[in-house]
Structure formats: structure tokens, C-alpha cells
Amino acid sequence: MADYKTTKVRLVRLRNPWGKVEWCGPWSNSSKEWASLPKSERERLRHRNTEKGDFWMSFEDFKRNFTKVEICNLTPDTLENDKIRKWTVSVNEGRWVRGCSAGGCRNYPDTFWTNPQYRLCLLEEDDDPEDEEVASSFVVALMQKNRRKERKMGAQLFTIGFAIYEMQGKEQHLSKDFFLYNASKAKCKTFVNLREVSQRFRLSPGEYVIIPSTFEPHREGEFLLRVFSEKRNISEEIENKIEADLPVTEKTKKKKEKPIVFVSDRAKANKEIELEDYEEQISNGEKDIQKDMEISANELMNVFNRMLSKRFHLNNELYHIITMRYADGKMNIDFDSFICCLVRLEGMFRAFSAFDKDGDGIIKLSVLEWLQLTMYS
């Protein structure tokens, strides 16, 4: 409020973070209204005509020129009292990859489940004695990265949003059927083409999964998912472990008796033996196939699904790499490439296991060992 001549005027101080465009009407930095104010009044309002992007305007002009106001909560209860409290924040970075993890919104049930999934564990309820509902407050913020930077190359902001589901004790990547038969516990109000979408929620303490997505499938991009809560929370990507349960056959026992030799003939022999291992498991595990010694495409797919679900666990980052390495332009992987991928994965796991003497998941290689390992893998 400023004393202007014989009246009081309500003023609003604004700042354009880009520093290039300012208000040019009444009460702008060079307007005559400031010259009519006493020096003491200008000092009280701390008016300066030097800072770029910083300007004043009357409240009436503000209402006429702005249609939306968003309030940033610096702490969980900034607008309620003066007590200083801090957010607990967890941060996850991810990517939507076409043909792998860019599944689009719930309107696309065939691909929605392939989106990145993040486990959210709300550990405690809020400290509010007057609130009869046992709940935990938190804010979810989904930001798409690098789209503004790549605008000069034709990139546009995607239409983004997120949904939250109760996990019900599940710890693996939720499948298509889960989303067909379970409704979301919470979700953003709307999908919108903004740099960041955020919203505040209140849910009972427990385990949930957050699904960030673009509105349409097959939109590739990077994102940042943040969860702010008043109490402690755990937020992490589901199935972030990398491990393999490699069966020990008579052939692999013989291989373990000999040191790994990194020469082209030896590497070729290893691949042939590993492929034979797959063939042996297929023939031993499927009695029906042995009757007519034939296998259909669906039978072979079922065999691989059962076999691999027990043996390999990869994270999303590796799935992205496999998709980019082995998929064609239509994001399909043909049978030959699929077999090559399996054989290479098993070979890499076995090679790592040979170097991991203490089993801690960390190995140390010399330059020569690294070059020998990668040259013929």
C-alpha cells in the first residue's frame, strides 16, 4: 500500500526471471507516478530503477493482465504458521524410450504398464492432532528435462502427467493385468504440456507406485520425478537390481575348471556351448515338445518366458540399451537377434562372475583385462 497524493494505492511488486520484459504502464520503473511519491515512501517500498526484470504495478492492473497465480510452498506449512519445517525429498531420474518404456497414459492399456514405475513408501502420518484422518501429506512433481534447451532443434514440450496406485505388497514391475483391474488411488488433475506438473496429496501410510508418463505412447524423453513429504518417505525405481541365476551344467562345470582365455576361438567356443545349454534346457524342460520333436513359435516363446523369468533380472536402463542395440526401426527384435542377446548376456554375466572372486558385485580390471574382455564379448 502506498500513499499517492490524497489516496492509498495497492501495489504489487513482480519480477520477470528472464529479465527482458517488464510492465510499461502506470507504476512501471520509469513512470511519472514514482516521481510524485515522497522520497521516504520510495525508500520504504525499496523502489529502485536499476534491476532488470524487477517492476511494480497497481493491483488493479495486475488483475487485468494476469489470469493465473501459482503459490510455491517453501516449507510444508508456509501459509499456516511461522514455525520453520523442512521437506523430505527423494529424487529419481528416468527416461521414456520408444518401444520399451514410453507407454503413454491409462488410455493405452496395452502399453501403459511398460512406463517406468517408482515405489513410494510413506512411513509416517502427519503431526496434526486436530486431524482425525490418519494420512501422510506429500507433493509429487514431474519435470520433463531438456525440452526447452532443444527447442531450437524443433523439440516441443510433451503433454505429461502421472498416476499413483497402491502396491498391495507387490515388489516387481506391475503387469498389464494389474492396471486393467485396479483403479488409481490418486493422479494429477490433468495431463498438460508444461515443463513441470505437480500436485499435493494426502494418503494413508503404506506402499504405492507412481507411474509418470506422456499422454501419448512412443514419446521419447528424459524426466525428473521428485517426491516432497513432511515425514520420511522412500522413493525408488522398481526392479532396479541386476542379477542372474546361472545354472551349473556338466558343460559349465568343465568350463569352470579352466581359466578364462580371451582369444577369438575360445570366445566362439563359449558362445556355442552357451547356446547348447539353452537347447538342452528347452528339450529337458518341455516333455510335450519331445513327443513330436517340433515346437511352434508360441511354445518356444512360453519356454523362453518361463526360463528367463527364473534366471535374469535386468533394470530399465539395460532394457533401454538392449532395445537400442537389437531392435529394428519398428522396435521389433527378430529371433536371431533375440538369441544373440541372450547368449551375450549370459556370457557377460559368467565373465563378470569369474572376476568377482568375493561375490560383492564389484570387480577391478586392468586395461589389458578390460580390452580382452570387451574385444571378444
Residue 82 lies in a domain: no
pLDDT at 250: 55
Q: Are residues 254 and 219 in the same domain?
A: no
Q: What is the pLDDT of residue 5?
A: 67
Rounded Cα gap, residues 128 and 191, in angstroms: 32
Q: Are strands 7-9 and 11-15 parallel, antiparallel or unpaired?
A: unpaired
Q: In 3D, which of 29, 20, 31, 27 has the Cα closest to residue 48?
A: 29
161, 41: one domain:
no
What string of pLDDT tens digits covers the 377 residues of the chain? 666 666 788 888 888 877 667 788 888 877 777 777 777 777 787 776 656 778 888 899 999 998 888 777 666 555 555 666 677 888 899 999 888 889 999 999 999 999 999 998 888 887 665 666 678 888 999 999 887 777 777 778 899 999 999 987 666 788 899 999 999 999 999 999 999 999 989 898 889 999 999 999 999 899 999 998 877 777 777 765 666 666 665 555 554 444 444 344 444 444 444 445 555 555 554 555 555 667 777 777 777 777 776 678 777 777 777 877 887 776 678 888 888 888 888 888 888 888 888 888 888 888 888 887 777 65
**44 and 124 part of one domain:** no
User: So what's the pLDDT on residue 267?
Assistant: 44
Amino acid at 318: L
Residue at 39 is within a domain: yes
At 263 the pLDDT is: 40
CATH code where residue 21 lies: 3.90.70.10
In a shared domain, residues 261 and 329:
yes
315 an active-site residue? no
Question: Which range marks the domain in which residue 129 is found?
Answer: 88-237
Return the ∠ at Cα 42 (arms to 39 and 46), rounded to 5°.
135
* Residue 75 domain flag: no
**Which of helix, strand or coil describes residue 167?**
coil
Choosing from 16, 49, 65, 240, the catalytic residue is 16
